[in-house]
Chains A and B, each alone.
Chain A
C-alpha cells in the first residue's frame, strides 16, 4: 500500500505538469475556437529561451522565466494575428493543419538554433525530500508544482467567471456575430486569449523542463496528455482540467509501475481519450464561424494518355539516374502512397487522422513479421497484409464513428502515439534491436532487392503508386466516392439521404489503411531490415502537412507533397543544388505549409492542374470546344412512388428538463399534404427531426404503413421511404447539382465499395430523378457547383435532392423561406404536383401562411410543443386558439388564398 501511495504522489507531480499544459490549451480554445496543436512547441521555445538566459548567459532564473513567458505569449498573439485570423473562414482542417505548420516550424527552428540533443537542467525550485511517513516521500518541487497548478486553476476560474473579459470570452465563444454587435471584438478577445494561453504554455514548459529534460520534441509529445485532460473537461472547465490531469498523471505512474509491458503506461492518456469518445460520442461544441469551407476536391477523372505519359517518363528517369536518385524516387513514391491514404480519409471522407504513418507501419509490421517468422513469400505476405489492413483500419474507425473534427484529430494523435509505444518500441513484437530481418523481395521469382537492383525497386514503387492512384481515382468517381464526399460535407444531410455515415467512415478508414500499408511496404522494404521505430508520430503529423501542401483532395497532390519528405526527391534536388539542405527541410516545410494555407488551402495540385489546362489551351491550334452539358431526356410519364402512410402517435421529445414536443400525433397519407405550423420555438423542426430519426423521442411511436420505424436510425428511415429537406438546405456545396442528385439516388449496395476500386459504375439516373430535374427546371444547372447557384435555385436543388431518394413520405422544412412571391407560388404548385401526380405524402413546415393555406389538405398547429389545433385549412384559419397563439391577435387571414389544387 505504501508503494501505491508513493507512486501516486509521484503521479501527482506529473499530473500538475499536465494540468499546467492543458489549461493553456483550454484558454485558447475558449477564446478562439482553435485547438492549438503547436501549444507544446510554443512552450518549448519559452523553455529554451529561459534556459539560455539562466544557464548559458548566467543571468537570474526569474529573468529567464519572465522573458520566456513573454516570448511564448508573443508567439501566441502573433500566431493568431498572422496565421489563424486570416484562416477564420477556412475549414477546421485547414486551421488544424495551420497549427501543425506552426509546430513544425517552431520545432525546426529550435533544433537549428539549439540542436536536437536532450539538455538536462537543474531545478530552480527546491528539491528537498519531504517524508510523509514510512517510505512515503515527495520532493518539494512537486509540491510547489501542484500548488502552482491549483492556484492557477482557481485564478483562471475566477477571471473567466467574474471579470468582464471572461464574460466577453464566453460571449464570443457562443456567438461571434452577436458578440460583435454588442461591442465585443472577437479578434481582440482571441488575441488576448492566445497570448494568455501561450504564456501559460511557456510557464508550464519552464517549470516542466527540469523534470522531463529539455528537448525540442519533448514538449510536443506532452500535448497528448494535456489534450486528454482538456477533452475530459470539454475544453471548458478549468477545475475539471486540473482534476483530470492529476488523475491521468497518477494513473500513468501507477500503470507504468505495475504493468511491465512497454508503452502501456504511457498510453493512458490515449485510453482516456477513447473512453471520452465512447461515452460522450459527439463533437466538441463548435464555434459560430461566419463561413466554413472545405478544401477543394478533384473529380477523379483519369486521362489515360497523361497517365501513360507520366508513368513512362518517370520510368525512363528512374532507369537512367544513379542509385541514390533511384532510392529517392522509391522514397518519394512510398511516401506518396501514405499521403494518398490521407487524400482518401481526410480529403474525400473528411476524417482528420494524425496517425496515418503509424497505420502504414502497422500494416508493414504484419507483412514483415509474416515474412520473417513464417517465411511467407513477399507477394503473398503483401496480399495478406493488405487484406488484414482493411479490417484493422475499420477497427480504428470505431472512435471516428462517434467523433469528428477536432475530437477525431486528438483521438488519432493519441492512437499513433499508442501504436508507436506499444508495438513499434516493443522489442518482442518488433524483432528487437535489429528490427525484423526480411527476406529478399521477389515478384514471380524476379528479385527486386533494392541494394542489388535499385532500378527494379524504384520501378516497383512507381507501379504500386500508379495502381493505388488509379484505384483511388476510381473510387472518387464511383458511389463510394460520392458517399464519402457527402459524409465529409454534411453528415446529417448524408444520413437523410439514406447514406450510412458509420459504414462510409468505416470503409474510408479501411481503404486508407490498405493504401497506407502499400506505402509502408515500399518504404520499409528498401532494406533487408525493417526498423519499425522509424514510423514515428511526428512523421504522421508531417504527412498531413505534406498532403495539404500537395493538395489533400487531389490524387496528384501526394506526388508533390511527398517530395518534401526527408531523403525524397526534394531533398535530393536541394542537396544537389545547395549542398546539405536536409536539416533545413523540416522548418522550410512548416513555413511553406503556413504560407500555402493562407493563400490557397486547396494545395499545389489544383494550381498545377489549372496552369496545365491554361497552357494546354494556348498550345492547341483550335479553340477549345466547351464540354457538352449533361443532357437528360425527359421521361414520357411520371412514375408514382410506393404508397405508404406515415403515422405518428404520441411522440414526445425532451431536451434535458425542457419538453420541446409533447404528445404529437398525426397521419400523412399518400398523395396528401399535411401542414405543420406554429410560432417560433413551437417544436416544428423538432417534430421533423423526431420523425426522420435525428432526435430520439422520449415516448411515442412511428410507423410507416403499419411497420414500426421508431427504432430505426436516420439513414434507415430514409431507405424505407421517409425523406426530408433541411431548413438550412445543407446541400453538398462542393459537388455539382448532378452529383448531389446522384448521391441521393445511388443504390446503397455494399458491393460498390469493392467494385468502385476497379470499375466504378455510373448507371443512368432513375426516371424519378430525371423527372425532378425537369420539374424543377434544373437542366441547365446540372454541371454547376451548388455553391455557384443563386439562393432560389439552391432551394429547388434541396427539394429535388430529397425527391431523388424516391420517398414515400417527404418532410419539407420551410421550403419557401427567402423566396419571393412568384417563386413561392411556383414552389407551391410543384409541391402539390409531388403529392397529386407522384403520390408522395408530404409533411410541410412553413411560416408563409398563404403558402400553407393554399397547398395543404390538413394542418396541425403547434404552440410550445403542444398540438392546439388540427384540421382543414378552413377549420384552422378560424380556430381561436390558433389565431391567438400563432397569429397573435384576433386578426384573421383577410382573404382566402387561391387553392393551388384548383389552378393546376
Chain B
C-alpha cells in the first residue's frame, strides 16, 4: 500500500502545485494598458492596501478593484498632468502580519502614497510609513493610530460619524440603547458615544454588547428592547446589522418615525435598506458624504458598475466610499505637485498634503484642510469634520437640509474637553 500510496500522494501534490501556479500566477498591477496611451511621463505609483482574499473573514473586499477602476478612468481623462496613475495592490488577507509587510513593500517600491483599508492589524502600518516619510490615507479614520500619525491623511470623517450618531440620538431620544459587540473596541465605542451624548447635553446611553463571533442575536435583541427604548442606535458593521435586525424584528419592537438612529450612513448600504425597509423607515443617520444614490455619486457608480456586476462586490460601503474619496484627494494633491514642476514622489506628496488647505474630492466632500491638525487631542488627524444627515423615507435614502455639510467641530471639541 505504501508504494501505491506514495505515488498517489505525489501525483496529488504535483497536481495541486500546478493548479496553484496556474491560479495564483497573476499581476497585481492595474491602472495601465490602453488607458495609458498618450501619457508619456513617469508613472505616479499609488499603493492600495486592502483585503482581497482571506481565510478568516474580511471587513470589506473589493477596494483594490474599485481603485484600479477609478485610476483607469483618471488615466483616460489625461492622468495626473500627463503622468499615468499606476496602482499597485497588496492583499491584507485580514492578517496583521500582512499589514506591515504590505507597508514595507510599498516603501520598497517607492510609492508616492498609499490608500489603506481598515482591517485586522492595520495599526501596524503607520510606524512603517512614518519611517519612510510616505503619506497614507486610511479608508475610515476610526483607529487611534490613524488619528494620530503625522503621515495619515484620512478624508473620511470616520470616528466623527460615530460620535454624531449618538449626538442625534441625544437630541431626539429620551431612552436610547446602543448596540455593539464585545470586542477590544467596545471601550472605545463607549467613549465615542459618551462624547456624542455630551455634545447633545445628555448623559451616556445604555450599551448592549453582543458576544463576539457570529452567534444567536436573539438574546441581544431581547436585552436591547427589555428597557423599552425609544431609539436603538446600532454601532455595528453592515454584516452584523443584517444579523441583528431580524432578531430585533422578532422581538416585535417597532420603529416609529425617527426612532432608529444610525451612526454612519455608509453602513446603510443598498443591501441593508432593501432587506429591512419597514424596520428602517424613518431612520435618521449620519454620513461623511451624500447618500450613495445621490447624483453626485453617478461618476463613481458608472465606474464601478462593470466591476460590480462581475465581482458582485458591494461598492456602497463606507470603506469603499472612503477609499474612493481618498483616491480623489490623492489625485488632487498629486496634480498640485505636478503643476508646481516638482517630481511626484512620496516626499513631495507628503509636503503638499501638509500645506494644502482645500483638498478637492469632486464635490463629494467639503474642501478639506490637511495643513492644520485639529485641536482636539484625541483626533488631531480628523481633517474632514463635515457631516451630512440623511433619512430613509418611502424606500429611499435622502439627504436632509439639501445635503448641507454640517460642521460639528465646536460641539464635539467642547464635549471632548469635558
Question: Chain A interface (Cβ within 8 Å of chain B)?
Answer: 3, 6-7, 10-11, 13-14, 17, 107-108, 111, 115-118, 120, 122-123, 127, 129, 137, 139, 142, 211-213, 215-218, 221, 253, 256-257, 262-263, 265-266, 322-324, 327, 331, 421, 424-428, 430-435, 451-452, 526-529, 531-534, 536, 538, 566-567, 574, 577-584, 586, 588, 591-592, 595, 598-599
Instruction: Determine the chain B residues whose CB is within 8 A of the CB of A567 once the complex forms.
Output: 95, 97-98, 101
B303 to chain A, nearest CB (A): 23
Query: Can you list 17 A-B contacts with CB-CB less than 8 angstroms, sorted by A residue number?
Result: A10-B216, A117-B58, A117-B239, A120-B243, A122-B246, A127-B246, A211-B216, A211-B218, A213-B214, A263-B182, A324-B105, A327-B100, A533-B120, A538-B56, A577-B21, A583-B53, A584-B20
Beyond A566-B97, A591-B12, 9 additional contacts (C-beta under 8 Å) are A118-B214, A118-B240, A129-B251, A213-B214, A216-B55, A434-B143, A567-B101, A580-B26, A584-B20
| Given A116-B57, A215-B214, A266-B213, CB of A433 within 8 Å of CB of B222 | no
Taking a contact as CB atoms under 8 Å apart, the answer to whether B218 and A116 are in contact is no
B106 to chain A, nearest CB (A): 11
Taking a contact as CB atoms under 8 Å apart, the answer to whether B252 and A137 are in contact is yes
Does B171 have its Cβ within 8 Å of any Cβ on chain A?
A: no
Does B185 have its Cβ within 8 Å of any Cβ on chain A?
A: yes
Instruction: Tell me the bound Cα distance from A221 to B212 in angstroms.
Output: 11
Taking a contact as CB atoms under 8 Å apart, the answer to whether B127 and A451 are in contact is yes
Q: Which of B108, B211, B216, B219 contacts A322 (CB 8 A)?
A: B108
Instruction: Determine the chain A residues whose CB is within 8 A of the CB of B24 once the complex forms.
Output: 578-581, 584
Taking a contact as CB atoms under 8 Å apart, the answer to whether B212 and A10 are in contact is no
Does B309 have its Cβ within 8 Å of any Cβ on chain A?
A: no
Taking a contact as CB atoms under 8 Å apart, the answer to whether A599 and B5 are in contact is yes
Instruction: Determine the chain A residues whose CB is within 8 A of the CB of B55 once the complex forms.
Output: 107-108, 111, 116, 216, 583, 586
B47 to chain A, nearest CB (A): 14
Taking a contact as CB atoms under 8 Å apart, the answer to whether A116 and B56 are in contact is yes
Instruction: Tell me the bound Cα distance from A566 to B91 in angstroms.
Output: 13
Taking a contact as CB atoms under 8 Å apart, the answer to whether B145 and A529 are in contact is yes
| Given A433-B143, A566-B97, CB of A262 within 8 Å of CB of B182 | yes
Taking a contact as CB atoms under 8 Å apart, the answer to whether A421 and B212 are in contact is yes
Name the residue on A nearest B97 (C-beta). Answer: A567
Instruction: Determine the chain B residues whose CB is within 8 A of the CB of A253 once the complex forms.
Output: 219
| Given A116-B55, A531-B121, A534-B120, CB of A427 within 8 Å of CB of B184 | yes
Taking a contact as CB atoms under 8 Å apart, the answer to whether B61 and A115 are in contact is yes
Instruction: Tell me the bound Cα distance from A442 to B137 in angstroms.
Output: 31
Instruction: Tell me the bound Cα distance from A434 to B125 in angstroms.
Output: 12
Query: Binding site of A, secondary structure by majority: helix, strand, loop or mixed?
Result: helix
A70 to chain B, nearest CB (A): 25
Instruction: Determine the chain A residues whose CB is within 8 A of the CB of B222 once the complex forms.
Output: 6-7, 10
Instruction: Determine the chain B residues whose CB is within 8 A of the CB of A129 once the complex forms.
Output: 250-252
Taking a contact as CB atoms under 8 Å apart, the answer to whether B57 and A595 are in contact is no
Instruction: Tell me the bound Cα distance from A577 to B20 in angstroms.
Output: 10
Instruction: Determine the chain A residues whose CB is within 8 A of the CB of B23 once the complex forms.
Output: 584
Q: Which of A17, A217, A421, A434 contacts B56 (CB 8 A)?
A: A217
Taking a contact as CB atoms under 8 Å apart, the answer to whether A262 and B121 are in contact is no
Taking a contact as CB atoms under 8 Å apart, the answer to whether B121 and A425 are in contact is no
Instruction: Determine the chain A residues whose CB is within 8 A of the CB of B174 once the complex forms.
Output: none
| Given A262-B182, A322-B108, A599-B2, CB of A215 within 8 Å of CB of B57 | yes
Instruction: Determine the chain B residues whose CB is within 8 A of the CB of A14 once the complex forms.
Output: 216
Taking a contact as CB atoms under 8 Å apart, the answer to whether B184 and A217 are in contact is no
* Chain B 56-74 interface residues, beta-carbon cutoff 8 Å to A: 56-58, 61
Instruction: Determine the chain B residues whose CB is within 8 A of the CB of A265 once the complex forms.
Output: 211
Does B93 have its Cβ within 8 Å of any Cβ on chain A?
A: yes
Taking a contact as CB atoms under 8 Å apart, the answer to whether A598 and B25 are in contact is no
Name the residue on A nearest B144 (C-beta). Answer: A434
Taking a contact as CB atoms under 8 Å apart, the answer to whether A262 and B212 are in contact is yes
Q: Which of B6, B54, B94, B105 contacts A599 (CB 8 A)?
A: B6
Taking a contact as CB atoms under 8 Å apart, the answer to whether A323 and B216 are in contact is no
Instruction: Determine the chain A residues whose CB is within 8 A of the CB of B340 once the complex forms.
Output: none
Does B128 have its Cβ within 8 Å of any Cβ on chain A?
A: yes
Taking a contact as CB atoms under 8 Å apart, the answer to whether B123 and A435 are in contact is yes
* Chain B 211-238 interface residues, beta-carbon cutoff 8 Å to A: 211-219, 222-223, 226
Instruction: Tell me the bound Cα distance from A327 to B96 in angstroms.
Output: 13
| Given A221-B213, A566-B95, CB of A120 within 8 Å of CB of B239 | yes
Does B393 have its Cβ within 8 Å of any Cβ on chain A?
A: no
A803 to chain B, nearest CB (A): 40
A336 to chain B, nearest CB (A): 15
| Given A115-B61, A213-B243, CB of A566 within 8 Å of CB of B93 | yes
Instruction: Determine the chain B residues whose CB is within 8 A of the CB of A527 once the complex forms.
Output: 96, 100, 123-124, 127
Q: Which of A107, A111, A139, A218 contacts B214 (CB 8 A)?
A: A218
Instruction: Determine the chain B residues whose CB is within 8 A of the CB of A534 once the complex forms.
Output: 96, 120-121
Does B257 have its Cβ within 8 Å of any Cβ on chain A?
A: no
A206 to chain B, nearest CB (A): 15
Taking a contact as CB atoms under 8 Å apart, the answer to whether B144 and A433 are in contact is yes
Does B205 have its Cβ within 8 Å of any Cβ on chain A?
A: no
Instruction: Determine the chain B residues whose CB is within 8 A of the CB of A528 once the complex forms.
Output: 127
Instruction: Determine the chain B residues whose CB is within 8 A of the CB of A216 once the complex forms.
Output: 55
Name the residue on A nearest B27 (C-beta). Answer: A579
Taking a contact as CB atoms under 8 Å apart, the answer to whether B219 and A127 are in contact is no
Instruction: Determine the chain A residues whose CB is within 8 A of the CB of B144 once the complex forms.
Output: 433-434
A86 to chain B, nearest CB (A): 8
Instruction: Tell me the bound Cα distance from A58 to B104 in angstroms.
Output: 46
Does B13 have its Cβ within 8 Å of any Cβ on chain A?
A: yes
